[in-house]
Structure 1
Amino acid sequence: MKKIKVIQQIAEQGVVAVLRADTAEDVVRMAEQAIEGGIKVIEITMTVPGALRAIETLAAKYSSTAKDPARFAIIGVGTVLDPETARAAILAGSEFVVGPSLNPETVMLCNRYRIPVMPGCMTIKEIQQALELGVDVVKLFPGNAFAPSMIKAIKGPLPQANIMPTGGVSLSNLGEWIKAGATAVGIGGDLTADAVKTGDYSIIAKKAAEYVAAFKAAKA
């Protein structure tokens, strides 16, 4: 049942922070600021050196089952290319797995351990394959290759597909994606770029709050 609850929580939260950094310590700081600002779904990409260490640190501090709101967050892993990486991340505490492409072996492993998996897809064929493999949420990636109207196009033949665009989602278009039918959205560089440039990580918390407000406004 935990898998179903985590998927529901991701849909309810609506905004996923996709975090990349040069060190595990930096990405942990980014995650803490994003959570402070209200983004409660955190994706640590495997491109971060020491990513598993960062996931362990965050999973020890936050949890999707935490009763204390300050400790509530869903920590996951991104840029997963193979089942070996997925399993390592799950053992480190990851509560969901995201990949840039559809890897059937990774999906099967995540299903085996009842962990939500969100593979990247670009075509109707890939999305159909993902659904047949038991994927609950499909990552539309790269999102900047499409307009929000792509959601409606996908849901024509596949109304049962839950779509999460990632890449190219910004404050200016988040509402369009949600109103078009996106289950959730992934936010990457736009959330952290200014903080990295200035060294002021509190900017992430401020931007996170703006994204959360934009999501709530779009849902309302």
Structure 2
Amino acid sequence: MTVPSRQTPSRALTETGVVPILRGKKTGEHLPAVLDTLVDNGIRCLEITTNTPGAFAAVTAAHERYGADVELGIGTVLTVDDVRAAEQAGAAFIVCPHTDPELADAALARGLGYYPGAFTATEVLTAWKLGATAVKIFPASVAGPKYLRELGGPIDGVPLLPTGGVTVELVPEYLAAGAIAVGMGGPLVGDALDGGDLGALATRTRRVLDAVAGTQV
């Protein structure tokens, strides 16, 4: 099904192959330093979740800091108000844990990328028909890369973005199984949002990007 207003996955996402998911429930104090570390080490597509304190303001500030070099999105979007706030903050896309026609319509009407969560073939195709930019397979770790490969067989052509428990070691397997990219939270970010070691975050980031590069040779 063709949806005229559907956004396509950006080069920032597909060329780097990973979108870090920044979810800092305790405080947003360390968010700018984490963003800088990720960007300085090659990340070009980032998601900040709505349950991170100051998430929308952080997207606005990061957009002003990095300009067009970095694509920024809002994750854990649950309401139309979240979609409106994401647009006002300068986000390029929204990410949801589920598929909701109302949120799909709101995102597409604003020209935002729309990444809804789904798991089964029926859910994936429903999300795609609603205009998804790509479908977030969540939680990916429940079934792993083999499931993604099997799922992608009969629905070839729908871009899939596995998220949830994706580890650094499994990144190549997910990409080889057909993912356009992976979403990574804790396994990549670690405790950096709580003031943890930024040097360790930089090392993990380079490992992930090296793993992605290895699948593109």
TM-score norm. by structure 1 comes to 0.90
State the Cα RMSD in Å: 2.0
CA contact (8 A) 2:9 2:133 kept: no
CA contact (8 A) 1:27 1:44 kept: no
Q: Tell me, yes or no, if structure 1 residue 56 matches structure 2 residue 55.
A: no
What's the counterpart of residue 138 of structure 1?
135
More deviation in 198-207 or 150-159? 198-207
- Equivalences, count: 213
1:6: how far off? 5.6
**Counterpart amino acid of residue 198 in structure 2:** Y
What's the counterpart of residue 27 of structure 1?
31
CA contact (8 A) 1:37 1:207 kept: no
| One of 53, 71, 76 as aligned partner of 2:73 | 76
Q: 1:203 and 1:13 mapped to 2: Cα distance?
A: 19
CA contact (8 A) 1:39 1:209 kept: no
What's the counterpart of residue 123 of structure 1?
120
TM-score norm. by structure 2 comes to 0.91
What's the counterpart of residue 181 of structure 1?
178
Q: Which has the higher contact order (CA 8 A, sep 6+)?
A: 2
Q: 1:105 and 1:196 mapped to 2: Cα distance?
A: 32
| SS of residue matched to 1:80 | coil
More deviation in 90-99 or 25-34? 25-34
What's the counterpart of residue 18 of structure 2?
15
1:105-124 paired onto structure 2 within 5 Å = 105-124=102-121
| SS of residue matched to 2:72 | strand
CA contact (8 A) 1:194 1:203 kept: no
**Counterpart amino acid of residue 17 in structure 1:** P
| SS of residue matched to 1:148 | helix
| SS of residue matched to 2:132 | coil
More deviation in 147-156 or 133-142? 147-156
CA contact (8 A) 1:38 1:212 kept: yes
Query: Among the aligned pairs, what percent are the same residue?
Result: 33
Q: 1:106 and 1:6 mapped to 2: Cα distance?
A: 18
1:195: how far off? 3.4
1:188: how far off? 0.5
What's the counterpart of residue 43 of structure 2?
39
Deviation per CA, 1:67-97: give whole Å up to 9, x if none.
xxxxx11111101112210110111011111
**Counterpart amino acid of residue 161 in structure 1:** V
Q: 1:38 and 1:104 mapped to 2: Cα distance?
A: 34
1:194: how far off? 4.6
1:37: how far off? 1.4
Structure 2 unaligned segments of length 5 or more: list them. Answer: 1-5
Q: 1:18 and 1:192 mapped to 2: Cα distance?
A: 8
**Counterpart amino acid of residue 16 in structure 2:** Q
